[in-house]
A and B are shown apart, each in its own frame.
Chain A
Amino acid sequence: MEGQSRAGLNTVLFAGVALLYLPILVLIGYSFNASPLVNVWGGFSTAWYGKLLHNRQLLQAAWLSLEVAIAASTFALLLGTLAAVALVRFARFRGRLLLTGMVNAPLVMPEIITGITQLLLFVSMVQLIGWPHRGFTTIVLSHVTFCSAYVTVTVQSRLQAADRSLEEAAMDLGASPLRAFLEVTLPIIAPALVSSWLLCFTLSLDDLVISSFVAGPGASTLPMVIYSKVKLGVSPDINALASLIVCAVGLCVLGAGYLMVRSDRRRAAEMRLAGS
């Protein structure tokens, strides 16, 4: 009975994982198809990858998306970490409930609502104070908003797990609270910071809906260009681009995951040594 149910569970797990990966594998397969027709296999070719390099519109959009993603993830890391420290370290302060709500709501808020309301904010702000004009700035501001929520949630759980007594020991030995935090706690939460920055980076790079609302007529991010192309039908060069992005992101995530697991192991080993 026990063995049977375990086999059943593992089958579901395997099937679920296969469901998650099959479309991506098929897509990568298509990207090497020499024929522009999707249902005909015209032999192996890397021509579509070469074509990408000559598509100015795509390259421009990719560059804008990269700039936005770097700026947004960096600001979001800063704001999100501050919010996490506030929520974990300060048990009571005025506005705590408000901050908790504002940190968690963006995670589930449908993007289309966030997008439209933020656009209305930016337009109204321009009327009132003449800033910010739609484009790079507004895209970054709106990405920081939803990204910082992810940072806070990730860092928050890591901070909660961090042993507070280490920091207290540092302060007993004469370190200022800021120094104790920077030298003791920061290294402990560093893997969470790295992985949240990467998560923000990919989320920002990927965002279509919110960017479409706040970007204004002048600016197009990569997902906006991809969406308008995909809307017209399947195109082989998008297959190539998609495969590149998926593989690059996959490698980054695997790398980050490896770093996190390794640093966890090392820390656990150090703790064991310290304890013995």
Chain B
Amino acid sequence: MKSPWRPGRWLIILPPLLFLFVFFLVPFAFAFKISFAEAAPRVPPFTDVISWSADHHLQLAISLGNYKYLIADQVYGLAYLYSLRTAFFSTLICLLIGYPMAYAIARAPKSRQNLLLLVIMLPFWTSFLLRVYALEGLIRDNGFLNTVLLHLGLIHEPLRIMHTGVALYIGIVYSYLPFMVLPLFATLEKLDPILLEAASDLGSTPRRAFFDVTLPLSIPGVIAGSMLVFIPAVGEFVIPSLLGGPNNLMIGRVLWDEFFGNHDWPVASAVAIAFLLLLAAPIAIYQYYNVRQLEA
């Protein structure tokens, strides 16, 4: 069918396309370029990679020093690995808690589903920073949790949770749980109950029906939810900075310190580019499933 919109369609397509191109995609090109520069005491604080010489020749001054430094200094490699590990296990915990939650909502009466979804989404709408801060009030050495447990006589000295890896996990799971529940709910809700009836008519127990029918059909939701938790969690800054200790060096924090502490913009760019390459595969997987789900 010929679209009646044809003449005006570029008026609709071009503004968002150009805006996102300039302000989302082009920045990566600049970061890539500056990752080959060297720090210099000037404004902005790095050397020119591309410049015109006095006799109008294009000059390239590419320095691989930043990338060599990333490989040579163990801090970066360790922080990458630590971030990947933390994000992986947080995602797993989110999945283990989020799947039954999404399943319970999908099985709830239709009239109650909207309310339950709103309850799950409400924390997502309220400030992320403030929720992490609120969590600190809960798990601090003299916080709510320890006060209650001490009072009840269940423990005799406060649990040390703050500034440990455990605090990181609690923080990430607490902050990202809604991102896991929503995509899972979206796929579980679409699941046709007739399939489960058929499985049960054919003699399958509810447990078997779950593992043979429901779980395989909800895989797209599992992947979308996992990526929505995993990718931002790898680069998380606020949670390791407020809840983690000096040993919980996640890459987001290293990048922040490189930038605001050491003022080394070229090294920070190199860290960001290397980080992005590391995330390229999970982001591609997310895009693939997301596009497929939207067009289904």
Enumerate chain B residues within 8 angstroms of A20, measured Cβ to Cβ.
120, 123, 174, 177-178
A20 to B27, CA, bound (A): 35
* Interface-centre pick from B100, B128, B134, B140 (highest chain A CB count, 10 A): B134
A106 to B123, CA, bound (A): 21
A110–B235 CB distance below 8 A: yes
B127–A249 CB distance below 8 A: yes
B23–A110 CB distance below 8 A: no
- Interface membership of chain B positions 86-130, coded 1 if the CB is closer than 8 angstroms to chain A and 0 otherwise: 000000000001101101110100000010101111110111111
- Verify if A269 is at the interface (C-beta below 8 Å from B): no
- Verify if A166 is at the interface (C-beta below 8 Å from B): no
B104–A90 CB distance below 8 A: no
A24 to B22, CA, bound (A): 39
* Interface-centre pick from A23, A141, A142, A246 (highest chain B CB count, 10 A): A23
A157 to B295, CA, bound (A): 10
Partner of B100, one of A13, A230, A245: A13
B275 to chain A, nearest CB (A): 6
- Verify if B248 is at the interface (C-beta below 8 Å from A): no
Enumerate chain B residues within 8 angstroms of A112, measured Cβ to Cβ.
235, 237, 252, 255-256, 272
- Interface membership of chain B positions 264-296, coded 1 if the CB is closer than 8 angstroms to chain A and 0 otherwise: 010011001001100100010011001100100
A152 to B17, CA, bound (A): 12
Partner of B259, one of A116, A178, A246: A116
A23–B174 CB distance below 8 A: yes
- Verify if A184 is at the interface (C-beta below 8 Å from B): no
Enumerate chain A residues within 8 angstroms of B15, measured Cβ to Cβ.
78-79, 82
Of all chain B residues, which has the CB nearest A145?
Answer: B23
Tell me the dominant secondary structure on chain B's binding face.
helix
B144 to chain A, nearest CB (A): 5
Enumerate chain A residues within 8 angstroms of B189, measured Cβ to Cβ.
none
- Verify if B52 is at the interface (C-beta below 8 Å from A): no
Enumerate chain A residues within 8 angstroms of B177, measured Cβ to Cβ.
16, 19-20
**A residues 174-192 in Cβ contact with B at 8 Å:** 177-178
B252–A148 CB distance below 8 A: no
Enumerate chain B residues within 8 angstroms of A117, measured Cβ to Cβ.
27-28, 30-31, 272
A120–B30 CB distance below 8 A: yes
**A residues 85-129 in Cβ contact with B at 8 Å:** 85-86, 89-90, 93, 95, 98-114, 116-118, 120-121, 123-124, 127
- Interface membership of chain B positions 203-242, coded 1 if the CB is closer than 8 angstroms to chain A and 0 otherwise: 0011000000000000000000001100110111110011
A242–B116 CB distance below 8 A: no
B133–A238 CB distance below 8 A: yes
Segment among B5-13, B56-64, B69-77 that sits at the interface with chain A? B5-13
A187 to B126, CA, bound (A): 27
A79–B123 CB distance below 8 A: no
A118 to B140, CA, bound (A): 35
- Verify if B41 is at the interface (C-beta below 8 Å from A): no
Chain B count of residues within 8 A CB distance of the other chain? 93
A152 to B205, CA, bound (A): 42
* Interface-centre pick from A86, A142, A231 (highest chain B CB count, 10 A): A86
- Verify if A254 is at the interface (C-beta below 8 Å from B): yes
A181 to B61, CA, bound (A): 53
A99 to B275, CA, bound (A): 23
Of all chain B residues, which has the CB nearest A181?
Answer: B5
B126–A202 CB distance below 8 A: yes
B143–A93 CB distance below 8 A: no
**A residues 230-244 in Cβ contact with B at 8 Å:** 230-231, 234, 238-239, 242
**A residues 124-158 in Cβ contact with B at 8 Å:** 124, 127, 141-142, 144-145, 148, 152, 156-157
A10 to B44, CA, bound (A): 56
B252 to chain A, nearest CB (A): 5
- Verify if B262 is at the interface (C-beta below 8 Å from A): no
A121–B23 CB distance below 8 A: yes
B31–A108 CB distance below 8 A: no
A205 to B247, CA, bound (A): 31
- Verify if A26 is at the interface (C-beta below 8 Å from B): yes
B28 to chain A, nearest CB (A): 5
Enumerate chain A residues within 8 angstroms of B30, measured Cβ to Cβ.
117, 120-121, 124
A33 to chain B, nearest CB (A): 11
**A residues 5-58 in Cβ contact with B at 8 Å:** 5-6, 8-10, 12-13, 16-17, 19-24, 26-27, 30, 38-39
Give 5 new A-B contacts, CB below 8 A, not counting A95-B13, A110-B252. Answer: A6-B104, A105-B24, A120-B27, A245-B130, A254-B122
B interface, CB within 8 angstroms of A: 3-5, 8-9, 12-13, 15-17, 19-28, 30-31, 34, 44, 97-98, 100-101, 103-105, 107, 114, 116, 118-123, 125-131, 133-138, 140, 142-144, 147, 174, 177-178, 181, 205-206, 227-228, 231-232, 234-238, 241-242, 252, 255-256, 259-260, 265, 268-269, 272, 275-276, 279, 283, 286-287, 290-291, 294
Q: Mind listing 15 A-B residue pairs with CB under 8 Å?
A: A13-B116, A23-B137, A79-B15, A83-B17, A83-B20, A98-B17, A113-B276, A118-B23, A145-B23, A177-B8, A198-B125, A208-B128, A213-B259, A223-B127, A242-B127
Q: Report, nearest first, the 9 A-B pairs whose CB atoms are least far apart.
A: A110-B235, A117-B27, A83-B16, A39-B142, A23-B134, A121-B27, A9-B104, A27-B134, A102-B20
